[in-house]
Structure 1
């Protein structure tokens, strides 16, 4: 059947660095690529955990796009295996581009992973084999194939077995070459495929610590867990070292810390809030604005609260990246000036749009 080889892995994100707090409320990671990946992973967690009951605005939209372009693929598998991604979802303008890139940075080590037979059939064949060094690569013209094109479920033994050549669903010449290369050891099946080809009794006897490959539907959960074996998905949040003393949401994650709970950034919110809403905010006020779009009435009825919020967030990010790339300290007064300037510019553009045309 072949032998167990270590899966080639993508350059991994040091997941342990994601929770390193800094005085700037950042991620503790200076590499911009890892910063972007870490930020995207934070939003992948609800996508992986809430596919059956999505909430909010963004998550249902993302799930709709996945179902539209990949109607016959489990929604989680394209994040794990790049060959399953629809070309329209891979472009730079796709909302999935950064999400896929973040997943690519994680270690794809499935040596100890056990998946059920139905899940195995849906995996790309290119991701199910390893090419030994110095031998011909897996051709690009073969990358459309999935395991189900070469293997089927043997219901008698409850294992995967090769299709007979006469029953290949399509591309018989290519599939014959694939299986021939497996037989002559110029391709090796991955460990999770080999396990699917072994009866459960043999698998349990040889590997008593491994799970059984049970299940009657496609379930990529063990594959997702393998992407971050030492760092549970539930901990992909940014932990704070700042505990608020006003009793609201104590124990905030570092994500809240980054947005508004950081002592360096909180004055930005207080100043703009007092200027436009007439009172000093509590953490609950800012949280409700960011997550529930629950705005207090502005002092100036011509100023839309969402414009105020957008100006604050844009100023916060501009000064955050100035710190990351240029080592410019985050100064609340400077960020406040930037936010006020952005809001003033936006209001000028809105007034220009609303000015009646001269006759």
Structure 2
């Protein structure tokens, strides 16, 4: 609420956050401001892969990564950084609103994501959810939600004859229900 000497004007919060050129007060949205501060913590977390995190000069960063990795199953994600990008990889422990790590995940979730210039290795593709990589060829063929959230490694494997290429798994290579994966 803005008070002047003659009358009282009520501004909506969204209006107050608009730039002055658009009729707002130019206030910084506190949620975005908090996320920006939390992103400063993410830079050291994203700098090293899970294998090289112990090379960090920080005492805190390896402990945070250790906590994250302790809640993941060994085969679920190759790198701790993937759970920041893909909500599907996050264990339920990290999806609750309790704890300080949720603030880091929320900061990443608020970032606009543009992957147009990203080059992903075949090994990384195997850890990504199927829905991120598989584009249905027909409009009536859509991946079901449980299958869409599974990692690509259930249906694809690295091609041994062509380096850095994925190929669909053969029927005898499927480790989970073959009928489900073949769909």
Same fold (TM over 0.5): yes
Q: Distance in 1 between matches of 2:59 and 2:161?
A: 46
2:36, 2:107 within 8 Å by CA — same for their partners in 1?
yes
Q: Following TM superposition, by how much is the alpha carbon of 1:131 offset from its aligned partner in structure 2, in angstroms? A: 6.3
1:103 corresponds in structure 2 to 108
Work out which of the residue numbers 58, 64, 67 in structure 1 matches 2:66: 64
Work out which of the residue numbers 80, 84, 99 in structure 2 matches 1:79: 84
Q: Distance in 2 between matches of 1:160 and 1:39?
A: 38
| Cα deviation digits, residues 153-176 of structure 1 (max 9, x gap) | 111122211111232121322222
Does structure 1 residue 169 correspond to structure 2 residue 167?
A: no
2:54, 2:62 within 8 Å by CA — same for their partners in 1?
no
| Cα deviation digits, residues 244-275 of structure 1 (max 9, x gap) | xxxxxxxxxxxxxxxxxxxxxxxxxxxxxxxx
5+ residue gaps, structure 2, are: 1-25
2:47 corresponds in structure 1 to 49
Q: Name the SS of the counterpart of 1:36 in structure 2.
A: helix
Q: 1:75 and 1:31, CA in 2 relative to 1: closer, same or farther beyond 3 A?
A: same
Q: Following TM superposition, by how much is the alpha carbon of 1:88 offset from its aligned partner in structure 2, in angstroms? A: 0.9
2:136, 2:142 within 8 Å by CA — same for their partners in 1?
yes
Work out which of the residue numbers 149, 152, 159 in structure 2 matches 1:147: 152
1:30 corresponds in structure 2 to 28
Q: Identify, as 1 or 2, the structure richer in helix.
A: 1
1:83, 1:143 within 8 Å by CA — same for their partners in 2?
no
2:166 corresponds in structure 1 to 160
Q: 1:130 and 1:34, CA in 2 relative to 1: closer, same or farther beyond 3 A?
A: farther
- For 1:265-280, list aligned pairs within 5 A: none
- For 1:330-341, list aligned pairs within 5 A: none
Does structure 1 residue 114 correspond to structure 2 residue 119?
A: yes
| Cα deviation digits, residues 108-139 of structure 1 (max 9, x gap) | 3223322221111111212223569x757643
| Cα deviation digits, residues 33-74 of structure 1 (max 9, x gap) | 211221111110011125232344532321111121124421
2:154, 2:174 within 8 Å by CA — same for their partners in 1?
yes
2:6 corresponds in structure 1 to none
Q: Distance in 1 between matches of 2:159 and 2:29?
A: 48
2:125, 2:152 within 8 Å by CA — same for their partners in 1?
yes
1:63, 1:75 within 8 Å by CA — same for their partners in 2?
yes
Q: Name the SS of the counterpart of 1:152 in structure 2.
A: strand
Residues 136-145 or 161-170, more deviating: 136-145
Q: Name the SS of the counterpart of 2:157 in structure 1.
A: strand
Q: Distance in 2 between matches of 1:135 and 1:29?
A: 46
**TM-score for both structures, normalised by structure 2:** 0.70
Q: Following TM superposition, by how much is the alpha carbon of 1:103 offset from its aligned partner in structure 2, in angstroms? A: 1.2
Q: Distance in 2 between matches of 1:130 and 1:106?
A: 24
**TM-score for both structures, normalised by structure 1:** 0.38
- For 1:318-357, list aligned pairs within 5 A: none
